[in-house]
Amino acid sequence: MPIDSALTLDHRRSDFLNWKASVAQYQQPSLWRSWWQIVNTLGAYALLWTLMILSLSVSWWLTAPLAVLAGGLLIRIFIIFHDCGHGSYFKSRRANAICGYICGVLTLTPYHRWRWEHARHHATSSNLDSRGTGDIWTLTVAEYLAAPRWKRVAYRFIRNPLVLFVIGPLYLLLIQERIPYSKGNARERQSVWWTNIAILLMVAGMINVVGLVPYVLIQLISVSVAGSIGVWLFYVQHQFEGTYWEHAADRDFVAAALQGSSFYRLPKILQWFTGNIGFHHVHHLNPRIPNYHLERCHQSSPMLQAVKPLTLLSSLKSMTLHLWDESDKKLVGFKHLKQASDAGAD
């Protein structure tokens, strides 16, 4: 290795270790913050259900907006669930599991199965050689052009915004999360079945209180809102202009976190509902940081603040980016295919 390269590598390692130490202070969960977040989130969710039940005797024009708001709170509940899965919400592993399981029932997601899948996502984020688990199906330009016609049609179908952000989330939450993976271990499979049983009991109890049709309509609205926004957040966290992907041999962990994960700067009210998950670059650098410490951690580091933010407006371009161009190392849209095909013919 040339001398200057060795010095550069040593400098990067030194910077990383110093930076890693500087953010480690934020990975300690705060018991009172965790419990207060549970109270103001699950408490607000319970209050909304009470109001929705009372509103049914007045007008659906009152119930429907409340159901939309409940969908927003489901996103925040999912963030608590997510932090429990990382073991970052409480110091106690048992407390994380209990809280995660309860939030998983409310968000229709089995705790242990999802935790395993999401850990795989963190381990393989921005890795071109390990796509397919816990992420959104992404092909390279070369893979797409070499794929059989049925696969290209399926890829375009799945990447259609209506499918990806409306139909897909409902399929994921109502069907896919109900079925154990054959490759999962016994605990992950049992997690699915126990969650299904708990959901069944919850549904039966609520139907007994409000009736079948009102309950189904309320849940359909809430789950649709939460699912669509949740999938959009997950999508834009890694599929955006300027993102980072590399093959395993060249993948850099810090680059994957700071360049391959977005800083989604949202209005404060949306930041609250989404549990600060817009600071996704911080989360991927250290997933042990609880959601309520992410913003403070971001503000404490010039390196983190240097990450270019996505705004609501600029993030919309992500919907036009579908394939990874390995030659230019960037996400491109389907219109890029003709150029790539013509270049290949030449």
Average pLDDT over residues 284-302: 94
| 234 close to 278: Cβ distance less than 8 angstroms | no
Instruction: Identify each DSSP E strand in 59-172 by its residue range.
Output: 139-140
Helix (H) or strand (E) holding 292: none
Q: What is the pLDDT of residues 112-168, one digit of tens each?
A: 999 999 999 999 999 999 987 788 999 999 999 999 999 999 999 999 999 999 999
φ/ψ of 137, rounded to 5, equals: -50, 120
Label residue 15 by pLDDT band (50, 70, 90).
low
Tens of pLDDT, residues 219-235: 999 999 999 999 999 99
Instruction: Check: CB of residue 256 under 8 Å from CB of residue 125.
Output: yes
Residue 309 forms beta bridges with which residues? 263
- Residue tagged 């381990």 (tokens): 123
Answer yes or no: is pLDDT of 186 > 90: no
The model's pLDDT over 195-253, given as tens digits with 9 standing for 90+, comes to 999 999 999 999 999 999 999 999 999 999 999 999 999 999 999 999 999 999 999 99
Q: Which helix (H) or strand (E) holds 264?
A: strand 263-264
* pLDDT recorded at residue 6: 38
Residue 2 has what pLDDT? 37
What Rg value do the Cα atoms of the chain yield, rounded?
22
Higher pLDDT, 19 or 260: 260
- pLDDT tens-digit series, residues 323-346: 999 999 999 999 888 765 555 554
Q: Are 84 and 109 in contact (CB under 8 A)?
A: no
- The structure tokens listed for 219 are 């849940």
Mean pLDDT, rounded, of the chain: 91
For position 342, what pLDDT does the model report? 59
In the block, tokens 């834009």 appear at 236
Q: Are 174 and 200 in contact (CB under 8 A)?
A: no
Domains in the chain: boundaries: 26-345
Residues 6+ apart with CB under 8 A from 107: 74, 77, 78, 81, 173, 226
pLDDT reported for residue 28: 94
Which phi-psi region, left, alpha or beta, contains residue 218 (left: φ > 0; alpha: ψ -120 to 50)?
alpha
